Amino acid sequence: MNLERIRNVPLPFAPSPPLAARAFAGRLHLVAADLARGAVQHVAVGADGSGPPTPLPLAYPMGLVACRDRLVATGATADQRPVALHLDADGTVTARTPLPAEAPLLREPVPVCLADGPVVAWESYAGQGSVLTACRLTGDRAELVGSIGFPLFTPYADVAAAGHRLVAARVDPATLELALTALDDRLRPATTTPVAAGVTAVCLAAVAAGLIVGWVETGGRLLVRRFDTELAPSSPVITAAVVEPPATVSAVRLAADGHRLAVLHQTLLLADPRLQEGSAPPVLEHPQRTTAEAVTAVDLASAAVAGSTVLPQPAGTGGVAAADWLDGSLLVLHADTAAVSFYRT
C-alpha cells in the first residue's frame, strides 16, 4: 500500500544535510544547512505554509529534540566547539549551553528528552574502546551526569530516552548481537536486554510508554519492535522493509507518535553497468552507486505496515530525509525537493 501525498509546502530555502525535523507546538520545526546563505536555518512548517527562516549561530547542526516547553538543537559553532541551543516555538534562541565534549568523537552530541528534562549524550574514542558521556542541560550550564566505558567501539549504536532513564543500544562488533542497556542517573548499567543477532545497523526512537528499536539484519530485513520503560518487548517484531542482496539498507531513522511510526531508510546498490547477468568473474571494475530513499509507515497497534513510498529524488543525488508526525499526518522533508510533503496513512 502506497502512502498518499496530500500536499507539498515549499520551503523558503533549499536545505542541505545534515538536517533534523521535530514536531513541536503545532508545527514541524526544521533545522538544516542553507548553503546558499552560508548559514544554518530554522523554519517552522504547518498545513498553512512555512514561516520565515531564522538563522542559528551554528556552523552545522547535529541533532534536534522537542522537550517540555522548548526545542533543543545541538551543533558546532564557527570555532568547532559543540553547543546546545534552546529554542522557543518561533526559533528564537533563549539559552545557549556550551558542551564539554572533546575530540576525537565517535558520535556527535545529540539531545534526548528524559521525563525530567533534556540531556545531551556523545561518545568518544578511548583506545580500542569508547566512552559514552551525558550531561543535563540547566539553562546555560551543562551538568555532567556520568560516563560509561565500552571495551570495543562499534559503528552500530544509538541512545534514546525511556521515561526517566537513558537507554543505550549497541551491536557487539565481534558477534553482531544487539542489546539494550538501561542506564541509571549516574550512567551506570541497570538492566540489559538482548534483542537480536546478526545485526548491521540500529536506531532508537522514544515514545510515551517506552521506546522503539529498529535494526537491520545481515540478510537485508529492516525490523522494528516496541519496548516498555523496563525494556520488556511490548509488540511483536514487525518487518518494515526487505531488500535483496547485493543491495543493502543504511541510514535508518525513526519518528514515532503514539501508535504511529515512520521508518526512513536508504537502499544502496553497487553495480557495474558493463557486467551482464551471469557473467564471470563478478568484479566491479567501474562501480556505480545507486541510492533510493524510502519511508514506511507502521501501525504499532496492529503491528502492520500502513503504507510506504519511495521519495522523489534526482538520479545520483543520494538525498537525505527527515520526518515527524503532526495532527495525524506524516510530514517528510527531503533535501532534494526543498519542500515538506504531507502524507495520509
Q: What is the CATH number of the domain that holds 259?
A: 2.120.10.10
CA atoms within 13 A on the CB side of 115: 12
Cα–Cα distance, 203 to 215 (Å, whole number): 6
The answer to whether position 341 is within a domain reads no
Please give the pLDDT value at position 292.
81
The answer to whether position 69 is within a domain reads no
Strand partners, 343: 5, 330
Please give the pLDDT value at position 61.
95
Please give the pLDDT value at position 269.
76
Please give the pLDDT value at position 85.
97
Structural domain of 173: 156-273+286-310
The answer to whether position 78 is within a domain reads no
CB-based contacts of 281: which residues, under 8 Å, 6+ apart?
none
The answer to whether position 76 is within a domain reads no
Please give the pLDDT value at position 315.
44
Neighbouring CB atoms inside 10 A of 33's CB total: 23
Q: For the chain, what is the domain count?
A: 1
Strand partners, 265: 294
Q: What is the DSSP letter of 317?
A: -
Strand partners, 20: 31
The answer to whether position 14 is within a domain reads no
Strand order in the sheet with 4-10: 4-10, 339-344, 329-334, 321-326
The answer to whether position 135 is within a domain reads no
Strand partners, 86: 72, 95
* Biggest CA-to-CA distance, the chain: 63
Cα–Cα distance, 159 to 296 (Å, whole number): 22
Please give the pLDDT value at position 282.
52
The answer to whether position 265 is within a domain reads yes
Please give the pLDDT value at position 271.
62
Cα–Cα distance, 165 to 148 (Å, whole number): 14
Please give the full DSSP string across 244-298, using - where no structure is assigned.
-TT-EEEEEEEEEETTEEEEEEEEEEEE-TTPPTT-SS---SS-EEEEEEEEEEE
The answer to whether position 221 is within a domain reads yes
Contact between residue 300 and residue 260 where contact means Cβ atoms under 8 Å apart: yes
Global pTM reads 0.92
Cα dihedral 149, 155, 156, 158 in deg (nearest 10): 60
In a structure prediction context, what are the per-residue pLDDT tens digits for the chain, which is 345 residues long? Answer: 789 999 999 999 999 888 899 999 999 999 999 999 999 999 999 999 999 999 999 999 999 999 999 999 999 999 999 999 999 999 999 999 999 999 889 999 999 999 999 999 999 999 999 999 999 998 789 999 999 999 988 989 999 999 999 999 999 999 999 999 999 999 999 999 999 999 999 999 999 889 999 999 988 999 999 999 999 999 999 999 999 888 889 889 999 998 999 999 988 876 655 555 555 555 545 555 667 889 999 999 999 999 999 886 654 444 578 999 999 999 999 877 789 999 998
